[in-house]
Structure 1
Amino acid sequence: MCGIVAYLGNKPAFPILINGLKRLEYRGYDSAGVALLEDGNLTIYKKQGKVQQLENLTNGHTFDSTVGIGHTRWATHGEPSDRNAHPHFSSNRRLAIIHNGIIENYGALKTELQEEGYTFESDTDTEVFITFIEDIQKTLGVSLEEAVRVALTKVVGAYAIVIMSQDDPGKLIAARKGSPLVIGLGKGEYYVASDATPIIEFTNEVVYLNDEEIAIITREGFEIVNTKDIPQKPYIHTLDLKLEAIEKGGYEHFMLKEIFEQPRSIADCMRGRINAAEGRLMLGGIRNYSSALTNAQRIVIIACGTSWHAGLVAEYLFEDICRIPIEVEYASEFRYRNPVIREGDIVIAISQSGETADTLAAIELAKSKGAIVFGVVNTVGSSISRATHEGAYLHAGPEIGVASTKAFTAQLTVLTMIALSVAQQKGTISDV
């Protein structure tokens, strides 16, 4: 689970990047690095191991750069090592990139670039990606943002990227497809991150990039276009997230904290949704399609990982009290086969982050076949919450530990409330 953090503004970038990388350590990683502009030159510092080792590497340096990018890497292409760590230079060392995701056709691109005379220092698809962008910029004589846009129409795979240029020091280019990326809005300054945890102490106003969108960010503002060069209107979200929620709060580690937060997160899931005096459940997020859900001939649940296990529990629950046949599908398999989905079928997609790439792809497949898709997600404004027809948020608070704890019990709570609501409307149970 790689992590991204970037900054462009009027403050020294290095402390912001290091602090952000530390907040992303919970994801797990094998190396960390930053790229900065020093005296007009693009410089990269990276090190295998912990962020502390990166700090040790940079001890004694005074960094005045007000623009920079940082990354924690979990190895995909190439072994964990200093040379495979992010950021990566382009061949001419005038561009630097950080990248989450996998470029599936990097091998063919690398062969083409090698035939043109380019050489590579790492084993990564990311270095191929940034060199490909350099080649497009040089061949077509276009701006960096146009070279990025053209490159993104040629690559196959998933990506969340941030790029900086020695020749354009007041600009960051960010883009995503299948991997989350958020832009934090400050006063004359901007932050980019793979999730909100590295930037919440600086701003609570963010823009979530959608798939195949590109953000061109300067100190004067930002604009968003898609890969077809069509301008997109950004939607600014106000985060309901407090700094103390992403800190350990006296616990030895985050997982222990989140285990003990489960009673509160379950109560938050139910708050405002249960009228105990009248024996009623009020789930506003599924109101518009409640009759379709109640009259469903079958329900397909799609999810990955821990969310899939929540779906397995929900299968027993729905079939027992709602008397509706349930199929639970692993999203990564569902998207690559030819599933039988009919017009009006009900699909429930479960995800903590709301950004799970396989689940997003499965949702789009189900929608293309005419299904009505409900989302059960934790992160407000996430891609899955926007892609589904309706749904219910967990309100479990940020999940900092990689091993899901409170999000799992919150998922079961919300799914139970949905099942009880359906059963009550169907008359298969008398009251809640």
Structure 2
Amino acid sequence: MCGIVGGVTDQNITPLLLEGLNRLEYRGYDSSGLIVLSKQNSFERARSVGKVSNLEMNLKSRSKEINGKIGIAHTRWATHGEPSSLNAHPHISKNTVSVVHNGIIENYLELKNIQIKQGYEFKSETDTEVIAHSIDSEMQLGSSLVESVQKAVKSFEGSYGIGVISSKYPDQIIAARKGSPLLIGISENGNYIASDQMALLSKTNKFIFLEEGDIAEVKLDKVTIYDLDGKLVNRPVQKSKLKAGQVDKGNFNHFMQKEIFEQPQAIRDTLESRITNDSVISSSFGHKADEIFRSIDQIQIAACGTSYNAGLVAKYWIEDIAKIPCHVEIASEYRYRRPILLDNTLFVTLSQSGETADTLEALKAAKKINNTLKSLCISNSAESSLTRLSDLTFLTHAGPEIGVASTKAFTTQLVSLALLMCSIGKLKGYISRRQESEIVNGLKKLPGLINEALLQETQIKQLAKSFTNKNSALFLGRGTMYAIAMEGALKLKEISYIHAEAYPAGELKHGPIALIDKNMPVIAIAPNDELLEKLKSNLQEVKSRGSKMLVFEDENSKVQSMDSMKVIPITSNLGRISAPIIFTIPLQLLSYHVALSREADVDKPRNLAKSVTVE
């Protein structure tokens, strides 16, 4: 959730730290800070509450410039302790050790009590301070900086990605990770650390991805990596395909808007090299995919947030078309109960970042329950914890997604799940060649259909103004559209702060209809499917209660417009797979423009982070 960036270089490090923080701000923030070692090997630190721009103003207001060639920086999303400058990272122990930290130290109270008895003074409410004091304590006993980190981390329970510098070791940064991503950037004028490669793209496209338990000693011209047992290990240097321009807004006002309009290309990229001659290439899920898919009898999907909604859509497809039992659960709940996992189950995790803590832990828990389990990760990140832990991996090729509210990651997940459903169905003998060809041809049409749906932006922008002063909204759908209604409600609440709920339209009379009056706008999704007539009856029930309604329909659904009801045709002749993906687009546009009308921060909504790497 938080962001880390640091470096040892032959230039002033401060500009890079600020640039990296700005690029990492999308991950979540409520404060930020940086610290560098001066020429006199003393710490120079700046911290500010709020956006990184506040930190930049802080630095400009100082009479003396913060300047040095080694430093670390951090954007914080509060877990322990309220957002404040005292709780902002980096933290310092006795002017000797400074630390930035992502994750949670679960036993910090126990460690804190011990350290208070040792004479350490705590200046914040965070769990991170115990890390700095633990490392300093080991150094007091004569250990080197890297040895002190190696010893200190053994006392930590929980998760961490940390960057450490010391005034006694002015030529190095120590990086360590457990349960929180961390990487090293390699360049000609220095070496760097970051929690996300996007922070360093202006300096390098060569990265080492640290593995679980790794501790790295990063110097100007050398990187040494140890595993958790202290043994020297080699980790490959990989070349990133990302480019710095990919994380700019271009001609768009916000990253979210840009990413909504990038969906046609993101879907083309996801389909590329995965389909041929009207057939899905099942080996694109991994070289053992055919063998694994033929052997499975059921599918278990675990995911969080938007990814969970994608899983719910896939459940309809997989059971209806591929004829395989499919269960979908919220990962944060799954990991804490005692589920029954039958043999021949494919455990599917969905995560844009591949680092979602609850989803990662759900997979680990499932492997303990049934060690014969086969697993598949669908992710937008090639070098992530989930991809490394899974037997099979499918990358969505959505490209960088900066806006906190997921858009193109969601639709490319749906495309990936459709390909999965098709691969399993044909290998199990439940999907014929003709059906497969129809599905593939439908997927090929998606980019064009999405472009058509995007043409409705001007009309949706006008309709969004009617939501400006609303406090609640209700979304309705049936079948797969119920999951899409859930996604629409999630988007609206995420970025406009309007309370929104989604219900299956058939559940109206079981309680939700009591909420409907002239102040409760209702958004409905009306595809031309077997449930259309029932949905139309549900809409009449809503209309008779005085609600103002907005209906997104297939042109062939022909929902009759009434007073206080606006019907917007999106496209026509959508199938079971294409319909949920296409109807997602107007809901994304609606939430975006409602948020703008309410003057909300679209890309960085309050209290939220892009990648939830802590529980």
What amino acid is the match of 1:37?
L
Once residues 289 and 251 of structure 1 are traced to their aligned partners in structure 2, the CA distance between those partners, rounded to angstroms, is 40
| 2:419 aligned partner | 417
User: Do structure 1's residue 308 and structure 2's residue 308 form an aligned pair?
Assistant: yes
The alpha-carbon deviation at position 317 of structure 1 amounts to: 0.8
Q: Map 1:352-431; keep pairs closer than 5 Å.
A: 352-368=352-368, 369=370, 370-431=372-433
Q: How does 1:15-414 map onto structure 2 within 5 Å? A: 15-38=15-38, 39-59=40-60, 60-90=63-93, 92-138=94-140, 140-275=141-276, 278-284=277-283, 285-368=285-368, 369=370, 370-414=372-416
For 1:420 and 1:289, the matched residues in 2 are separated by 13
Alpha-carbon offset, residue 36 of structure 1 = 0.7
Q: Distance in 2 between matches of 1:294 and 1:318?
A: 14
Cα RMSD, aligned residues only? 1.4
The CA deviation string for residues 265-308 of structure 1, in whole angstroms up to 9 with x for no partner, is: 01111112122xx3311132234132332342211111122111
Name the SS of the counterpart of 1:318 in structure 2: helix
Q: Which structure is higher in helix share?
A: 2
CA distance in 2, matches of 1:357, 1:49: 25
Shift of 1:349: 1.2
Shift of 1:28: 3.0
CA–CA separation in structure 1 for the residues paired with 2:197 and 2:54: 24
The 1:149–1:343 alpha-carbon spacing in structure 2 relative to 1, beyond 3 Å, is farther
**CA offsets, 1:191-213, max 9 Å, x none?**
11111111011111101111111
Q: Which amino acid aligns with 2:214?
A: E
SS of equivalent residue, structure 2 residue 267: helix
Q: CA deviation at 1:49?
A: 2.0
Q: Deviations over 1:131-183 (max 9, x none)?
A: 12211222x32111111111111111111110000010101000111111111
Tell me if structure 2 keeps the 8 A contact 1:3–1:193. yes
| % same residue | 43
In structure 2, C-alpha distance between the alignment counterparts of 1:89 and 1:75, rounded to whole Å: 18
In structure 2, distance between residues paired with 1:311 and 1:274: 22
Q: Write out per-residue CA displacement over residues 103-148 of structure 1, whole angstroms, 9 at most, x where no aligned residue.
A: 110001101111222211111111122112211222x321111111
Deviation at 1:341, TM superposition (A): 2.4
Maintained 8 Å contact 1:152/1:227: no
| CA displacement, residues 86-110 of structure 1 (integer Å, 9 cap, x when unaligned) | 10001x1211111111111000110
Bigger Cα displacement from structure 2, 224-233 vs 152-161: 224-233
Shift of 1:188: 4.3
CA distance in 2, matches of 1:238, 1:232: 19
Q: In structure 1, what is the Cα distance between the partners aligned to 2:188 and 2:347? A: 42
- SS of 1:210's equivalent in the other structure is coil
Amino acid of the structure 2 residue aligned with 1:373: S
Contact 2:44 2:66 in 1 (8 A): no
Secondary structure of the structure 2 residue equivalent to 1:102: strand
Displacement of 1:245 after TM fit?
A: 0.8
Structure 2, unaligned runs of 5 or more: 437-615
Distance 1:213 1:363 in 2: 21
Q: 1:270 to 1:150 in 2, by over 3 A?
A: same
Q: CA deviation at 1:416?
A: 0.1
Amino acid at match of 1:413: V
Indicate if the aligned counterparts of 2:297 and 2:344 stay in contact, CA closer than 8 A.
no
How far apart are 1:22 and its partner, in Å?
A: 1.0
Counterpart Cα distance in 1 of 2:48 and 2:66:
18
- Cα distance in 1 for partners of 2:431, 2:163 equals 53
SS in 2 for 1:119: coil
Q: Aligned partners of 1:100, 1:289: CA distance in 2, in Å?
A: 35
What amino acid maps onto 2:351 in structure 1? S
For residues 344-384 of structure 1, the C-alpha deviation after alignment (integer angstroms, 9 at most, x for no partner) is: 42111111111122222222233342201111111112221
Shift of 1:58: 1.6
Pairwise CA distance, 1:333: 2.3
DSSP 3-state at the match of 2:217: strand
Deviation at 1:343, TM superposition (A): 4.2
Aligned residue type for 1:120: F
Distance 2:296 2:202 in 1: 45
Measure how far apart 1:5 and its partner are. Answer: 0.7
Distance 2:181 2:333 in 1: 21
| Equivalent position amino acid for 1:30 in 2 | D
Inter-partner Cα distance in structure 2 for 1:43 and 1:265: 43
CA contact under 8 A between 1:150 and 1:227: conserved in structure 2?
Answer: no
Counterpart of 1:149 in structure 2: which amino acid? Q
SS at match of 1:99: strand
In 1, Cα distance between the equivalents of 2:142 and 2:95? 17
Distance 1:361 1:225 in 2: 24
CA distance in 2, matches of 1:11, 1:315: 53
SS of structure 2 residue aligned to 1:376: strand
Contact preservation (8 Å) 1:188, 1:221: no
Counterpart of 2:197 in 1: which secondary structure? coil
Separation in 2, partners of 1:342, 1:210: 30
For 2:397 and 2:288, the matched residues in 1 are separated by 21
CA contact (8 A) 1:322 1:428 kept: yes
- Which secondary structure does the structure 1 equivalent of 2:406 belong to? coil
Superposition TM-score, scaled by structure 2 size: 0.68
* Contact 1:3–1:72 (8 Å) recurs in 2: yes
Partners of 1:236 and 1:429 in 2: how far apart? Answer: 42
| 1:366–1:373 CA contact under 8 A, matched in 2 | no
Count of residues in Structure 1 that have an aligned counterpart in Structure 2:
428
Structure 2 residue matching 1:244: 3-state secondary structure: helix
| Cα separation, 2, equivalents of 1:231 and 1:361 | 27
Mapped to 2, the partners of 1:343 and 1:176 lie a distance apart of 33
Q: Which amino acid aligns with 1:36?
A: V
In structure 2, how many angstroms separate the alpha carbons of the residues matched to 1:212 and 1:160?
10
